[in-house]
Structure 1
Amino acid sequence: TGAALFTAAAPALADDGRAAPPKLTATTLEAAHEAATEPATLTTLSRFFAREGAVSAKASAPRIEGKAVPVRTLSAAFVAGKPGAAPSTLDYLASTAVSSDGQKASLWTVPGAGGSDAWQVVNIATGDDEARYAAQGARALPGGTVFREPQIDAWYVHDASRVLPLDEDARTAVGAKGATLDAYRARVRQAYGDKLPGSGYARSGKAGGYGPEAATGPAPAPAPGPARGAALAGSPAPAGTA
């Protein structure tokens, strides 16, 4: 569940006109954390945690727990079979917020108009999937890269040769023991290869863009992009969204 509680400046664009992926450095991780801990952000979090009346905004006393983690999603270039394409692309950084009554939420942060030193929060999503799967992936495959296939809401971790599942949806897709990277590429290319940006499927509107609709309903799975939560009104969508 996302909450339209922030506004933000437009991000830098890549050559194809889509939002350029953020750069992952120690500086950007710290900038994302600072954005999440700003007083204005904590005030908004108080309202978010109080939205269903479980706790009052004043009593929610939100805090940011741990460090920001990178959130990656299945890469369209990988699905298309482009030589050297990484399986996933970095979309945003997520910080975990915790309320006094134990509620958790993820703050999505992206670069602002000022670049790597001006990161800003653009969305709040309930739960702590991002941090939880990042930690789980580090245990399952040390040094691996955690990413999400949003069309089926599946989380994985991969290295240079294999892909391992981190949740039930991923286990259904690749089996409990995972798959080789080549086998996974073949699977996603078959599933989404004709639904990429610029395809007739996408132009017809059936793909629904790269938004939250990607993981809902019986319609054919759209092209890669984040599905959990919603980019906020007036704010930039994470890289890889349209």
Structure 2
Amino acid sequence: MRNSAKVTAAALIGGTVLMGGNAAMAAGPTSDEAAAAKVAASPAAQQRLGTFFVHLGQHQKGQSTTQGVSKAAAAATAPTLQGDVQRVYSLNPAFVKGTSNAPVANFVYMAVAAKSASGQQATLWLTKSNKSWTIMNVISGTDEAAYPARANGGTVFTEPQIHAWYRLKDGRVTALNDTAKTSVGKGMTVGSYQKLVNTRYGDKLAGSAYQKSGKLGGVTPTTGVSDRSSDGGTSPVLLALGASGAVAAAAGIAVARRRRFGSY
């Protein structure tokens, strides 16, 4: 579902999600995954998931989701975690710019899928504050957990501005979803992909005239030119990458909010 939503530049550029400074790609499970998984399985997380599932059901019925949810109602949804905690990587602004030796993507958050007793699906997003992992978001659907699980010896990352998911392996970027296929076809070298994203976003990085003007707009994966949403409005996808290391992830939230019910 791709309903447009109004998202202010301040809300996005302010850094809804802080992008991790560690640019290294994950090689496998670490103590961080274990710690994040422990938080995701905690009673507080189960309560939050249950509350989310109650509100999701209300939303799907066209009902208001502003009222409180009792502990009993939340517990009745019987949330269960599905699969392992996954590391989510997002397109690196330094790579877009062409900075020497910059990795294609940076780590942004951990994600784990969840399911209710009635079959509703959601994903927990977890970020690290000091030495502790905390839940910073819950959103419907499981893309953020499902695609990273398909790394197959490589690294999965998202280009959130167009909601594309890719696998980086053996020096090539290949597509994992339809939008990514439109973007890179049967795949391309890292060098070719860098040229592609520089064409799309190179003049929209932090500090650019575009970013300073506060402009927002949608992009198409083939041209990087603004696209119109179905209701005639401009899709609110942030193009000004990299402000305070947070914007790519914030753009991901904008996309997710547009296509899915979430942010709890």
| Pairs within 5 Å for 1:64-213 | 64-113=81-130, 115=131, 118-136=132-150, 138=151, 142-175=152-185, 177-207=186-216
Deviation, 1:229, is 3.5
CA contact (8 A) 1:74 1:150 kept: yes
Gaps of 5+ in 1: 2-17, 209-213, 231-242
AA partner of residue 34 (structure 2): E
Q: Give me the whole-angstrom Cα distance separating, in 2, the residues matched to 1:92 and 1:148.
A: 12
Separation (CA, whole Å) in 1 of partners of 2:189 and 2:128: 34
Segments of 4+ in structure 1 off by > 4 A? 22-25, 218-221
Contact 1:76 1:223 in 2 (8 A): no
Q: RMSD between aligned alpha carbons?
A: 2.6
Q: Does 1:59 align with 2:73?
A: no
Tell me, yes or no, if structure 1 residue 48 matches structure 2 residue 52. yes
Shift of 1:135: 2.7
Shifted more, 216-225 versus 185-194: the winner is: 216-225
Q: Are residues 97 and 169 of structure 1, via their aligned partners in 2, closer, same or farther at CA, if it must alter by over 3 Å?
A: same
Question: TM-score, normalised to structure 2's length?
Answer: 0.69
- Percentage of matched positions with identical amino acids: 38
Determine the structure 2 residue equivalent to 1:15: none
Please say if 1:26 is aligned against 2:33.
no
SS in 2 for 1:193: helix
Task: Rate the CA distance shift 1:220–1:126 in 2: closer, same or farther, 3 A.
Answer: closer
Q: Letter of the aligned partner of 1:89 in structure 2?
A: N
Q: Distance in 1 between matches of 2:182 and 2:90?
A: 18
Structure showing the higher helix proportion among its residues: 2
Cα 1:190–1:228 shift into 2, 3 Å: closer
Task: Count matched residues.
Answer: 201
